[in-house]
Amino acid sequence: MKAAVMYRHSEIPQYVDMPEPTIQNNNEVLVTVKAVAIKHFDKGRATGKHYSSDAPKENGRIIGGDGVCLLGNGARVYAVGVDGMLAEKAVVEKDRIVKVPDGLSDAVAAALPNAVFGAAMALKFKAGIQPGDVVLINGATGFTGRVAVQIAKHYGAGKVIVTGRNPSSLAELLLLGADETISLQQEDEAFITALKQTHKAAPVDIVIDYLWGHSAEMILACLKGDGAWTNFVRFVSVGSMAGDLLQLSAAILRSVNIQLSGSGLGAWTKGQVKELLTVILPEMFALAAEGKLTVKTMEMDIHRIAELWEADVTGGQRIVVTI
């Protein structure tokens, strides 16, 4: 079968022939793959740079961890692969399958789940979002951030504040439900002043952070209290696009009723993952099928994998590889 494979000592996957995978136990099923989204997560795992992965094998590793596929009876489902997913055939686990509703394209069904993982899990389980909460999404102009804006509103956020660098993308977020934008392109002092004014007018309850690094340092500094009562702030780290480290003043932790946590592989309970696959993701698929949750995708055929791997994707889009 044809597959997109990453070899050791390589930074770009190749479109090559690979042996068809085989089922190892009763909880596995062989599927025909239709579409797989390419995320930063997949790129990190493919090269061994993500914390959940090891180095590529000498004889190659099929990239991609999830996607839309067909079961033997023709049913169209989203599934998580046992191993690599970006191939004509893949093995998936039966308890990690979600039916794709009619009216939802393969591309959207393949692209949406990872963003739901990175948004809904943080909002629902780590931040414990409640109706009326003020939510700040740091780095919202990317694909997952755009989904997070819409899910926050769906979960009842009273106000959604977003940060980002791209002016046109920030403007688009207002159309997706954001109430206020704060540019990260301005000088630090201007950014801090704007956020402090916003936080004073409507105290932030939740921060969903996709950047970490310096922007997170500035946000945490804006949350610092002065000895008076503060509201309960839940700061959830989901990504680190701006750097893996930051400096955190102990005074912030002592002056604010704040909870710092992370949302990602290893940070969720088995029960939460089960709810994700049986309740949350089906709900988000239904919203997308009804046009109430929108995303932008760019479809490319698998034989172009080497070309698209380093493609410059802008405007909050996500590349989806079709097979």
pLDDT (tens digit per residue) in 284-297: 999 999 999 999 99
Together in a domain, 220 and 148: yes
Residues 175, 232, single domain; the answer is: yes
Query: Based on the domain organization, do 121 and 256 belong to the same domain?
Result: yes
* Residue range of the domain that includes 172: 116-262
pLDDT tens sequence across 53-106: 555 555 678 999 899 999 999 999 999 999 899 999 999 999 999 999 999 999
171-177: list long-range contacts, CB under 8 Å, 24+ apart. Answer: 172/146, 172/315, 172/316, 173/140, 173/141, 173/145, 173/146, 173/149, 176/146, 176/149, 176/150, 176/294, 177/149, 177/150, 177/152, 177/153
> Do 95 and 122 fall into the same domain?
no
Asked if residue 280 belongs to a domain, the reply is: no
Q: CATH number of the domain that 135 lies in?
A: 3.40.50.720
Number of domains in the chain: 2
| Co-location of 303 and 228 in the same domain | no
Q: What is the pLDDT of residue 129?
A: 98
Same domain, 126 and 240: yes
Whether this prediction's pTM lies above 0.95 is answered by no
For 111-155, write each residue's pLDDT tens digit.
999 999 999 999 999 999 999 999 999 999 999 999 999 999 999
